[in-house]
């Protein structure tokens, strides 16, 4: 099973540049972020080999959050071959997350 990739300014462009990538913008202190974490982790296992799952801490990477117009957390961004295809802010349930991923893989 794959791991969730931790993003920073050093690897953000490289990781999001190819394939299907789901990025969770979060903060350690964020309650809703903690609610979505197990759903995101389960999706990582379900889509192993089909999509990359990554997390980026907005407190440590404010410039990337601002560049992606992340105004609230959690925010999930969905990339395909470097292009932003979809986004959702707030807690998302498993069915909605899988539907977004199914549209991209």
Give the mean model confidence (pLDDT) for residues 38-63.
Answer: 96
Per-residue confidence (pLDDT) for residue 1, from 0 to 100? 62
Catalytic residue among 7, 21, 30, 39: 30
Q: What CATH code is carried by the domain that includes residue 55? A: 3.40.30.10
User: Cα 90 to chain center, whole Å?
Assistant: 12
Per-residue confidence (pLDDT) for residue 43, from 0 to 100? 96
Per-residue confidence (pLDDT) for residue 14, from 0 to 100? 96
Q: Is 98 a catalytic residue?
A: no
Q: Is 30 a catalytic residue?
A: yes
Q: What is the pTM of this model?
A: 0.95
Share of the chain above pLDDT 70, in %: 99
Q: Are 24 and 65 in contact (CB under 8 A)?
A: no
The domain in which residue 55 lies consists of 5-102
Helix 31-46 vs helix 94-102: crossing angle, to nearest 10: 50
Catalytic residue among 7, 15, 22, 33: 33
Domain count, the chain: 1
């Amino acid at each position: 099973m794959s791991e969730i990739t931790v993003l920073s300014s050093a690897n953000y462009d490289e990781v999001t540049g190819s394939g299907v990538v789901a990025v969770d913008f979060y903060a350690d202190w964020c309650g809703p972020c903690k609610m979505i974490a197990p759903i995101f982790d389960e999706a990582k296992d379900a889509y192993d080999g089909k999509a990359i799952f990554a997390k980026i801490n907005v407190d440590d990477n404010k410039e990337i959050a601002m560049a992606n117009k992340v105004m609230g957390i959690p925010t999930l961004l969905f990339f395909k071959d470097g292009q932003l295809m979809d986004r959702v802010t707030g807690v998302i349930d498993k069915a909605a997350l899988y539907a977004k991923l199914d549209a991209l893989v």
